[in-house]
Structure 1
Amino acid sequence: MKASIFVLLIVSFFSGCSVSPRVSNPATTAPSLSDVVTISFGSCLRQWADQPVWQAISALQSEAFIFAGDNVYTDVGPYLKQREPQRIQQAYRDLALNADFTGFLKAAEQAGTGVYATWDDHDYGLNDGGNDYVFKGKSKQYFSDFFQLDPREIGDSVQTGVYHHRVIHAAGLRIQMIMLDTRSYRSEILRDDNRNACQPTGIVANETAGATVLGESQWQWLAEVLSEPADIRLVVSSIQVLPTEHCFEKWANFPRERERLLALLGSSGAEGVVLLSGDRHLAEISRLQTASMYPLYELTSSGLNSAVGENSPAVDEINSLRTRKHNVLVDNFGTVQIEQTGRGPVVVLQIRSTSGEVLQQERVPLALLQ
């Protein structure tokens, strides 16, 4: 979705007018001839707070920016005192009024940056929420309105699901952006009464037969999308896929679903898969080598203005798949850059500070992801 649509949307929020669905984001974009392709993303945005990160994001003039979830917070602080689900709409309205954010939109419009999104729990409407959230239909409506998506074209019904995919063409490459929905269909999270079972949350694995993260309709859709031609596939999951050791939300809380996802990525023959995730209020790059496919990388970026900080206990968090010794605990955003070199394209996964400084990166030849 082009940023000019967002500008119209902001006007519509406060004028009572509606934005024409004819301007909703296209399934594909016109080719770009740049030798370096940049796709930026981030998550966990506190809409009431300062958002200086947008200046650094704007300076990159990316082909796309992806909201990876917790794009607003609807269930914290003063929002808890507001009526539900109207407070979800109010959170989006408050973001639309933020000067830093509107500055980004104007810059994105000038640069031709597309804006894309999926959601996580706090913008969905309920902390750790899943398929039993009673207002998920209204939440989808507010999400669709804000990001100018036709609710009939995302998810599996007008009322349920926001999964969808988009394709951009740049530097001679076909790039898929696959937005998963890890909320609308997800089964119950299980917790042990003894929090020591997994501190500090008490979350334990849900290995119940039939327990799901995506739901069958989304699984079928994902298999179909992975069968489409693409050089690079950015699979956006609001929660982490590869890390297994921490005690917060992650695919490993549903071991059968995680194994199913890894098996599908391997058996589909889909080339160029890179995982993007958010949620954690920290950033890191993880790498998994499996027998069934090429090395699988996951770039986690969180939060845009809500990271846990360098004095957090997360400094000691274990992730045996992390490519670097330490995670990043300051506010951050992520970038995926594709560089054309004499030896072929190279995918560069980067964690950047709010000033745009590269804090960590991994360079991966695209040929390795085949």
Structure 2
Amino acid sequence: MPILNTMLSAKPQLLLLLGDNIYADTSDIDVMRAKYKQLGAKQEFIALRSACPILATWDDHDYGLNDGGADFPLRDKAQEAFLDFWDEPTDSPRRRQAGVYDAKIFGPEGKRLQVIMLDTRYFRSPLKKGPRRVGGPYTADDDPQKTMLGDAQWKWLEKQLRMPAEIRVIGSSIQFVPSAAGQEAWANLPRERQRLIDLIRETRAGGVVILSGDRHWSEVSVTEEQTAYPLLDITSSSLNQIHPRGTPTENQFRSINTTYHKANFGVLSIDWDSSDPTINFEIRDTDNQPQIQGSYRLSKLQPK
């Protein structure tokens, strides 16, 4: 995984891992733990892990089941393996709750960065299938009984969004803003997607930026449909699993025409020095060169 050395050379202050951190795809938890052990033994991973704090969530492959949700029978054992690998303290709330969601706030008042890592697997209802499209077999489902986050996580998320912070990064293992084109995405459960948009508006939580992965390419999406301000979703993936198809799915919300399909990682940097802080983002390749980049003034990400 040479890209881990590139990421180390970028001198990160914080690393967010959005899922598919290993490819377990197993009902044998011993196999899952062995794959975590294999990752943990890699020298480049050891070096990166020692360089900065890491916040991690999971996606389907480290959850244990491709496209898996709440119906995965070993989700509790998978959660235990996940928390053990990431050295979660024995007294951590994550050891007592269902799901691996977590949040942290960094920095002093006036320069507070809140990081919210969602769990889009543990509670997620089964997805509806339709005719297969480029991205896969899934189609939008308006069933009001279906959920992405589950009641407990939704209540927790509202509490987090009401906490004081200047900038809020929401980590979602699957894309939030992009339109559904058969792939796994929030758009498959449009009521849940709208619920998060409404929650950001109702809590008047400013400075929200969504970071996502999963797609095996990188792109930037923005929506202003019923939002409090432009809602930005920066997708960075993957570190070393290049998609054999290489064709991006249809996405009406893609705000930068460029998509990048080779190994990459995302860099989010904040310039706090001006009266109107700037959020800069880049998708970088294995040579640490930007392939997609942009920026937003914090003033543009405030409730209207």
Short-chain TM bin: over 0.9
Matches of 2:227 and 2:213, distance apart in 1: 26
CA distance in structure 2 between the partners assigned to 1:280 and 1:258 by the alignment: 18
Q: Which amino acid aligns with 1:141?
A: E
**Residue 33 of structure 1 corresponds to which residue in structure 2?**
none
Match of 1:253 in 2: 188
Q: In the alignment, what sits opposite 1:238?
A: 173
Question: Contact 2:140–2:180 (CA<8 Å) still a contact in 1?
Answer: no
Aligned to 1:102: 46
Partner of 1:334: helix, strand, or coil? strand
Offset, 1:99: 2.5
| Partner AA of 1:186 in structure 2 | R
Compared CA separation, residues 292 and 244, structure 1 to 2 (3 A): closer
In the alignment, does 2:146 pair up with 1:146?
no
Q: 1:178 aligns with which of 116, 127, 145?
A: 116
Find the partner of 2:231 among 293, 296, 312. Answer: 296
The whole-number CA distance in structure 2 between the counterparts of 1:303 and 1:170 is 32
Give the CA deviation at 1:228.
0.3
Partner SS for 1:55: helix
Q: Quote the offset at 1:153 in angstroms.
A: 3.6
TM-score (ref. length: structure 2) = 0.94
Task: Give the TM-score, by structure 1 length.
Answer: 0.77
Contact map agreement 1:347 1:364 (CA 8 A) in 2: yes
Match of 2:37 in 1: 93
**2:65 corresponds to 1:126:** yes
1:60 aligns with 2:4: no
Distance 1:366 1:224, change over 3 A: same
Helix, strand or coil at the partner of 2:247: helix
Give 1:102's aligned amino acid: I
State which drifts further: 250-259 or 58-67.
58-67
TM-aligned CA distance change 1:339 to 1:171, over 3 Å = farther
Render the CA deviation track for 1:275-298: whole Å, top value 9, x for unaligned: 010111111111111344111111
SS at match of 1:202: strand
Change (3 A) 1:170 1:262: same
Q: CA RMSD in A?
A: 1.9
Letter in 1 for 2:101: Y
Unaligned runs of 5+ in 1: 1-50
Distance 2:203 2:40 in 1: 40
CA distance in 1, matches of 2:136, 2:229: 33
User: Which sits farther off after the overlay, 121-130 or 53-62?
Assistant: 53-62
Counterpart residue identity of residue 266, structure 2:
G
Q: Which structure exhibits the higher relative contact order, with contacts defined as CA atoms closer than 8 Å and separated by 6 or more residues?
A: 1
Which of 270, 285, 301 is equivalent to 1:353? 285
Q: State whether structure 2 residue 23 is matched by structure 1 residue 69.
A: no
Q: How does 1:259-270 map to 2 (within 5 A)?
A: 259-270=194-205
Instruction: State whether residues 144 and 151 of structure 1, in contact with CA within 8 Å, keep that contact through their aligned partners in structure 2.
Output: no
Structure 2 residue ranges without an equivalent (≥5)? none
Q: Structure 1 pair 57/170, CA: closer, same or farther in 2 (3 Å)?
A: farther
Change (3 A) 1:97 1:263: same
